Structure 1
Amino acid sequence: MSTSREQTSGPDRCGFVPPYVLRHLAASRPDGCGPRTLLADQRLREHREALPPGATLRTTALPAAPEAAAWTVHDAGGLEQLPGTPVRAAGQPATGDPAVDEAAAGIEATLRFFAEVHDRASYDGAGAPAVVTVHFGRDYANAFWDGTQLVFGDGDGEVFERFTKPLDVMAHEFGHALTQATAGLVYEGQPGALNESVSDVVAACVKQWLAGESAADADWLVGEGLFRPGVQARALRDMAAPGTAYDDPRLGRDPQVGHLDDFVVTTDDNGGVHLNSGIPNRAFVLAARAVGGRTWEGAGAVWHAALLSGDLGPRTDFAGFAAATVSAAERVLPDHVETVRAAWRDVGVEPGRPSTGPAGQGPAATGVVEVRRSGGFAGTRVVARVDLADLAGDPRGDELVRLLTERDVRAEALGAGREAAGGAPQPDRFSYAFVLDGEEVVLPEQALTPSLQRLAGLVLDLGSTR
């Protein structure tokens, strides 16, 4: 697997709407935006995977913006080509196009927030120009940071509004750029959930700053106003009460969790990054409310200091991030160190200790992993299926859960299949089929990475004795 995943969150393309929401939409409305957005995301993923190391998703060279422009908005014109045509830059008047002007207002406010509150010039701290694209794709129901720029779809006009309409969507995506430039949290498992949570924290701080709200008065909703009238949804996420933002036949019910006891182990959604981000989200809200006053001056300042502290790495887990915020509080809010520590403990995370769940049994696990081994000298075939929910208390199960939590094994399997030399099965060696979250990847024995070898061994061992 490429080591670039250790270095940046960018190549994983951080989407605002989780894939499970889009799949539910596709099932309930086969002719709606869900299938089209999923197909667009698949095309982007395939394009990205085909790129050489270090390349970006751009299909054309980025046009030159006006000299010293802090931001530029581009129009993709309904195509899936980036960056599109430049239509407005900093200092230029409104165009009359709602999406363009909303994006301009959103990026300008977000940059101003970081400049005035954190004395930070853009996401990299060095004044990097912010590149924004609107009108991406047809009925595209998502927004994302692709490692170099911010991209927004128009929604479908039935379930989703324009993704430029709620200003905090812009701030959220900008937060991914900030994380990429600072902690570099990989977009999978617990680090990925922290990556998502940091973006929600940025969104909440910018939203409250613009409204002049205190932590006590804020609604803590992310993506409020994103849904059309008639959709049973207050927002896409509720940071204060994860799992309560929406309950609609077209969207399903909000599945976010807010405590480590409920941590979801899955190979979907890059290891549940949108599901489990509710845990650090709720910790942040508890800290912000307990500190009191204005969030961006309290808990927001602590979280920002933690990002810049150097205490975080690409694979920092919940406990490591919690420890970094406690350390940052000692410098930024020394009177509230225990307040921050208590907020994390209230969501089941002990700062500085591995976030493996209660009683050392690992987080609550869901899903089924299947491994099929065939071939070899004897030509035998073995099938083993393991339900992750049944593994509590088994040391081998704990190891399997950790392996699935800490690594994106599906992506690793796909990468191994692409990168293996001599990818065809070799004489008298085994072939392995991995079925992860319903998707099958077949690999010859020589293509297995050490973690995939261990995964196969654990599943075959557990499956043969259960």
Structure 2
Amino acid sequence: MDATHNSARPSPATTPAGGAARHNVFCTIVPPHVLDKLARAEDPALADPALRTLATDAAQRTRRRITTVRGAVAAPPRADADKPKRTIYDTKHHETLPGRKVCGEGDKPGKDETVNRAYAGLGATFELYLKAFGRKSIDDSGLPLNATVHYGEDYGNAFWDGERMVFGDGDGEIFLDFTIPVDVIGHELTHGVTQYSANLEYFGQSGALNESMSDVFGSLIKQYSLGQTADQADWLIGAGLLAPRVTGEALRSMKAPGTAYDDDVLGKDPQPGTMDHYVQTSRDNGGVHINSGIPNHAFYFVAEALGGKAWERAGQIWYDVLTGGELGSDAQFTDFARLTTAAARARYGEGVEQKALLKAWAQVGVPTS
């Protein structure tokens, strides 16, 4: 991985090589550096699916760049915007989207468990945002939730392309079916929430905040679905996704960034948990999947300190900032830390919530002023 550790405060993000528009976001759950590592494996059974996945992701990224303009405009609210409207499609291992419709809103579960999990995961995401935050779907106007399953051949990723969720089945060697972890579904759909609200640029620290938002709310969706309190949660992103041969628990750990996996093929989880180990890199859009470990860690500290159901106070503060209109699209970690601290004070006063924020950001080395 082309990366160096630097304890100095990083400078604001610069335009990525090639001048690519940073809002034309194609967001995947598996970081490029993981697939790059797999693609160099000596075993073709590991390398070939990773190479195909990288090629597919590159094509989708280019398509997204060509067809997307900055930001997203919400459609007129549906009359029944407080109810989900889900549709699942199946490409049958081809790559032409959306595929054939196999399940619609209200349909009973079928024989395909991948379809059933995708449908349930879309519903769990819709419910968390509605019940916890009063948000009516991804755009707050009842946006229909579309997903495609069985995408590509041994496709080792899942993505949000600005319009729909797409799930691969994995290669069975490193990755299993990407509909298995509900937090993966919640993570990718939260990229849509960010797209319709703060529209954080997908580069450098703002991109890492973009990724962190998806990890935070993906984890909250999992905790909400399981009825877990903060101390009961595993705080893992993608638990159940890695195949048995992999030495690791998940793709990322919010509780202990850098410990999710340590594998002879995948390498070691590179996420830092504090600014002392911030990673300067030109890859992965300036390390968006890597340095997201820092704000992830801060959220974990806040949720742990406040206890109870993490979506009720810690999650509410994060949601207030994401949707409050003050978070700039090029926000840096210090901007976000300052805004979350202010949001805690505005909603709860100068009490335990604000103190938890101040302590958490200090623990990860991010100033709040």
Q: If the length of structure 2 is used for normalisation, what is the TM-score?
A: 0.87
1:135 and 2:145 matched? no
- The answer on 1:39 being equivalent to 2:55 is yes
Does the 8 Å contact 1:344/1:351 carry over to 2? yes
Q: Identify the match of residue 178 of structure 1 among 173, 186, 193.
A: 193
Structure 1 residue ranges, 4+ long, deviating more than 3 angstroms after superposition: 1-6, 46-49, 52-55
Conservation of the 8 A alpha-carbon contact between 1:154 and 1:162: yes
Cα-to-partner distance string for 1:341-371 (whole Å, 9 max, x where unaligned): 211111010024xxxxxxxxxxxxxxxxxxx
- Structure 1 contact 88–100 (Cα < 8 Å) conserved: yes
Specify which of 149, 164, 181 is matched with residue 164 of structure 2.
149
Contact 2:301 2:360 in 1 (8 A): yes
Contact 1:155 1:161 in 2 (8 A): yes
The Cα offsets for residues 369-405 of structure 1, whole Å up to 9 and x where unpaired, read as xxxxxxxxxxxxxxxxxxxxxxxxxxxxxxxxxxxxx
Distance in 2 of aligned mates of 1:5 and 1:45 = 11
Partner of 1:338: 355
2:109 to 85, 91, 94: 94
Kindly provide the CA deviation profile for residues 45-89 of structure 1, in whole angstroms up to 9, marking residues without a partner as x. Answer: 33344x35549xxxxxxxxxxx98611111122111111111111
Query: Match for 2:303 among 288, 308, 323?
Result: 288
Letter in structure 2 aligned against 1:347: V
Q: Which has the higher contact order (CA 8 A, sep 6+)?
A: 2
**CA displacement at 1:194 relative to structure 2:** 0.4
Larger Rg: 1
Partner of 1:119: 134
Q: Using the TM superposition, give the Cα deviation of residue 205 of structure 1 relative to its aligned residue in structure 2, in angstroms.
A: 0.7
Separation (CA, whole Å) in 2 of partners of 1:306 and 1:84: 36
Distance 1:46 1:146 in 2: 11
> Secondary structure, in 3 states, of the residue corresponding to 1:275?
coil
- Pairwise CA distance, 1:95: 2.2
State whether residues 123 and 177 of structure 1, in contact with CA within 8 Å, keep that contact through their aligned partners in structure 2: yes
Once the two structures are TM-superposed, the CA of residue 174 in structure 1 deviates from its matched residue by 0.9
Distance 1:228 1:31, change over 3 A: closer
1:203 aligns with 2:214: no
Structure 2 unaligned residues grouped into runs of 5+: 1-14, 71-80
Partner residue of 1:351?
A: 368
Q: Aligned residue for 2:119?
A: 104
Q: Answer yes or no: is 1:16 the counterpart of 2:29.
A: yes
Q: Distance in 1 between matches of 2:93 and 2:122?
A: 21
Q: Pick one of 221, 229, 239 that aligns with 2:244.
A: 229
State yes or no: 1:269 paired with 2:305: no
Amino acid at match of 2:182: L
Identity %: 45
- How far the C-alpha of 1:115 sits from its partner, in A, is 1.1
Report what 1:253 is aligned to: 268
TM-score normalised by the chain length of structure 1: 0.70
CA distance in 2, matches of 1:92, 1:216: 35
Q: Is the 8 A contact 2:231 2:307 kept in 1?
A: yes
Letter of the 1:37 partner, please give it.
T
Tell me whether 1:71 sits opposite 2:109 in the alignment.
no
In 2, are the aligned partners of 1:76 and 1:84 still within 8 Å (CA)?
yes
- String of CA shifts for 1:162-216, please: whole Å, max 9, x gaps: 0001111100101111111111101110000000000000011111111121112
Indicate conservation of the 8 Å contact 2:302/2:314, yes or no: yes
2:318 alignment partner in structure 1: 303
